[in-house]
Amino acid sequence: PHNINVASRQRSSERVFLEALRQEVYEQYRPAFGEVTAILRDGGFRRSDLKEVGIENETNRFLNYVRLTHVIGDEAWKTAPLRSPAERRQTIESYAREWVEAADNKVPQDYVAW
């Protein structure tokens, strides 16, 4: 594209930030999100009221439920211990069983329509 100068060796702070964010998303967040999605799908932890939106959106709503119900505040995320895959699976399955049956699943009533 005409707006890219290949000869330029100096990277702007915005470009550095975006590259770091891209790397973080693809190396950390996306695999972790995929792990949670697989556990929900393979374990049959699906909410009937969210089946229309797809498993990825359902995973997002599940993670929101966990954030609002069990992992409240930024410090809780920062101080959480690192867990093995087996420990993560056990914790996620425990929260997923609770979420599937929860009356207050933290999903707005108009979410599917939206």
What is the residue range of 69's domain? 13-101
User: What 3 state SS string does 34-57 have?
Assistant: HHHHHHHHHHCCCCHHHHHHCHHH
Residue 37 domain flag: yes
Residue 6 domain flag: no
pLDDT above 90 covers what percent of the chain? 37
Residue 57 domain flag: yes
d(CA 16, CA 13): 5
Domain tally, the chain: 1
Residue 62 domain flag: yes
- Across the range 2-12, mean pLDDT stands at 67
> 26: Cβ–Cβ under 8 A, 6 or more apart, which residues?
none
Residue 3 domain flag: no
Q: Which pLDDT belongs to residue 109?
A: 75
pLDDT in tens, 69-111: 888 888 887 888 889 999 999 999 999 999 998 887 777 777 7
Residue 63 domain flag: yes
Residue 114 domain flag: no
Q: Which pLDDT belongs to residue 87?
A: 96
**Most confident among 45-49, 58-62, 105-109 (mean pLDDT):** 58-62
Residue 8 domain flag: no
